[in-house]
Amino acid sequence: MGDAVSVQGLHRAFGPVVAVAGATWSAPSGAVTAVLGPNGAGKTTTLECVVGLQRPDGGTVRVLGADPWRSSAAHRARVGVMLQDGGLPTTARPLRLLAHLASLHQHPRDVSALATRLGIDGFARTTVRRMSGGQRQRVALAAALVGAPEVALLDEPTAGLDPHARREVWDLVREEADAGTCVVLTTHSFEEAERLADRVVVLAAGVVVADGTLAEVRGDRPLEDVYFELTERAPR
Amino acid sequence: MSAPAPAGRRIRAQAAYETRTLLSNGEQLLVSVVLPALALVGLTLSSVPSLGPGRRVDVATAGVLALAVVSTAFTGQAIAAGFDRRSGVLRLLGTTPLGRSGLVAGKALSVLAVLAVQVLVLGGLGLALGWHPAPSGWLPALVSVVLGATAFVALALLLAGTVRAEAVLALANLAWVLLLGLGVLVPTGELPRGLRTLARALPSGALGDALRTSLVQGGWPWAAWAVLLAWAVAAGLAAVRWFRWSG
């Protein structure tokens, strides 16, 4: 299958601080692409350019063939997004919020099945304000997937989750990719990348220092060793 | 292929969601309905402050309806948008099929829905207290409410989109109290001379006077409408220019 996400020579700076300095990588449909990198490597900025929340200063970004910065409603319906800050209204209860987000789509997923799958019905009466970090993460992930997207862009989807919830999220993400979705996620977890990712992109100081299948990037060594070697060499 | 719901349905869904959220928020209900209702009863039953010519209950009801517009279109919207901006809600909704334009349209529709509820409740209370609105005043009153709501929503978004959420909360409540005394409840003609000109140039005084002219005299308040339109355009342009979607 072709690349659902294509990033070519992406540049993005905030005043004098260059967040992304000419990154080129792509992500195919039907696979999980993990974007790794130290804090400040440009992962979130890159993802936000792919989402369409930030306008690149240079280079091109294409998602399902379209420029996300000028995205239409039809395009946004095909792309599910989980942001690092969650973006959930603090007074909302999860099922009503998910039902509302589902109503913005023509053919959404079954909200109660998705909520059950992610264990959200266990805290259905809790408002976002009173949820734990892990509970919020699960609701934010459900919000990203409720529209049955063709591309799922997930910024640190398992940060703060306990091992059981993390396993459940991994299984769900795997199923999404196996069903044909292009999943792009950022992570700090080597375990997550090794167990879940088909492709790995490593960013350091705003540039891509590795891009390939998991096997290509790590060879016969643990990903962790390769990662430290790659990111320590990168300019800071 | 994943597809969005039709645009009209998306906007109605957002408006219904926001309206339910606003009406189930106790603090918002206090500012939107309870305090204006108390003001209406208090102004009608007492003899101070002076409300100028016209039956007291008629002048008071028109002023309280102006207060309802300020509460919902300005205070409520500013605080909601300020906190939604800080928690990333505006950003996230911008990535859904709703988008930014749908979000703004949904909010506008929700303000009108809440205003309709306020007019029913406060108007009903006014009628019970003996309010007789001028029969020819409904059309200019409707124009006044829509113009006033537009100006105050634009001001709310300008505030919510440019300062921190806590500051929005403080400033929106402070402005509500200050505007209250600048021509919303009390006709600008009854204010001290120095304040009168200022109040008439502010959207608060313009909206209060517009509703009083409409509902008490059945007149068409062209000058007040011009003031409201100027505020709506200026604040709208400023909000488009300076509104930041992320906190």
Tokens of B122: 């406060």
Number of Cβ atoms within 10 Å of the Cβ of A74: 15
List pLDDT tens digits, range B13-48: 999 999 998 888 888 889 899 999 999 999 999 988
Whether residues A81 and B21 touch (CB distance < 8 A) is answered with no
List pLDDT tens digits, range A145-165: 999 999 999 999 998 889 988
Q: Does B62 score more than 70 pLDDT?
A: yes
As a whole number, the mean pLDDT across chain A is 93
Per-residue pLDDT band for B134 (boundaries 50, 70, 90) equals very high
Residues 64-93 on B with a CB inside 8 Å of A are 83-84, 87-89, 91-93
CA distance A184 to A44: 12
Burial pattern A13-41, b for ≥16 Cβ within 10 A else e, equals: eeeeebbbbebebbbbbebbbbbbbbeeb
Provide the pLDDT for residue A183.
Answer: 98
Is A70 near chain B, with CB under 8 Å? no
CA distance A87 to A100: 14
User: Nearest residue on chain A to B246, judged by CA atoms?
Assistant: A53
Q: Which amino acid is at B118?
A: Q
Of A200, A140, A146, the residue nearest A165 (C-alpha):
A140
Provide the pLDDT for residue A21.
Answer: 94
- Mean pLDDT across B143-169: 94
Find chain B residues with C-beta within 8 A of A54's C-beta.
Answer: none
Strand partners, A207: A204
List pLDDT tens digits, range A33-85: 999 999 999 999 999 999 999 999 999 999 999 999 989 999 999 999 999 88
List pLDDT tens digits, range B166-210: 999 999 999 988 888 899 999 999 999 989 999 999 999 999 999
Find chain B residues with C-beta within 8 A of A176's C-beta.
Answer: none
Strand partners, A58: A11
Q: Which residue has the tokens 């709703």?
A: B98
Distance of CA A14 to the CA centre of its chain: 22
Find chain B residues with C-beta within 8 A of A52's C-beta.
Answer: 95
Q: Count Cβ–Cβ pairs < 8 Å, chain A vs chain B.
A: 97
As a whole number, the mean pLDDT across chain B is 93
Sequence-distant (6+) residues with CB within 8 A of B8 are: none
Query: Using a CB cutoff of 8 Å and minimum separation of 24, what contacts does A95-98 make?
Result: A95/A120, A95/A121, A95/A124, A97/A128, A97/A139, A97/A143, A98/A139, A98/A142, A98/A143, A98/A146
Whether residues A86 and B97 touch (CB distance < 8 A) is answered with no
Q: Which one of B10, B83, B91 has the shortest CB-CB distance to A83?
A: B91
What would the DSSP string read from start to end of B35-62? HHHHHHHHHHHS--S---SS-HHHHHHH
Which 8-state DSSP code applies to residue A116? Answer: H
Is B1 near chain A, with CB under 8 Å? yes
List pLDDT tens digits, range B70-127: 999 999 999 999 999 998 999 999 999 999 889 988 998 999 999 999 999 999 999 9
CA distances from A150 to A56, A71, A105, A115, B216 (A): 23, 15, 13, 20, 58
Provide the pLDDT for residue A235.
Answer: 58
What would the DSSP string read from start to end of A87-136? ---TT--HHHHHHHHHTTBSS---HHHHHHHTTGGGGTTS-GGGS-HHHH
Percentage with pLDDT > 70 across chain A: 97
Q: Which of A14, A45, A104, A155 to mutate to test the interface with B (most CBs of B within 10 A)?
A: A104
Tokens of A133: 């970090």
Which 8-state DSSP code applies to residue B246? Answer: -
Per-residue pLDDT band for A86 (boundaries 50, 70, 90) equals confident
Angle, CA of B89, B149 and B44, to the nearest 5°: 120
Q: Which one of A73, A100, A147 has the shortest CB-CB distance to B99?
A: A73
Provide the pLDDT for residue B100.
Answer: 86
Provide the pLDDT for residue A202.
Answer: 95
Task: Give me the phi and psi of A204, to 5 degrees please.
Answer: -145, 130
Whether residues B87 and A87 touch (CB distance < 8 A) is answered with yes
pTM: 0.89
Distance of CA A100 to the CA centre of its chain: 22
Strand partners, A210: A202
CA distance B18 to B2: 25
Is A92 near chain B, with CB under 8 Å? yes
Strand partners, A23: A10
Provide the pLDDT for residue A85.
Answer: 80
Find chain A residues with C-beta within 8 A of B96's C-beta.
Answer: 76, 81, 101, 104, 147
Q: Which one of B2, B14, B17 has the shortest CB-CB distance to A105?
A: B2
Per-residue pLDDT band for A129 (boundaries 50, 70, 90) equals very high
Provide the pLDDT for residue A49.
Answer: 95
Q: Which of B9, B85, B90, B96 to mutate to test the interface with A (most CBs of A within 10 A)?
A: B96
- Mean pLDDT across B227-240: 94
Q: Does B247 score more than 80 pLDDT?
A: no
Strand partners, A36: A187, A202
Find chain A residues with C-beta within 8 A of B2's C-beta.
Answer: 77-78, 105-107, 147-150
Provide the pLDDT for residue B181.
Answer: 85
Q: Does A236 score more than 70 pLDDT?
A: no
Which 8-state DSSP code applies to residue A119? Answer: T
Q: Which one of A104, A107, A143 has the shortest CB-CB distance to B13?
A: A104
Whether residues B4 and A104 touch (CB distance < 8 A) is answered with yes
Mode of pairing for the β-strands spanning A151-155 and A182-187 = parallel
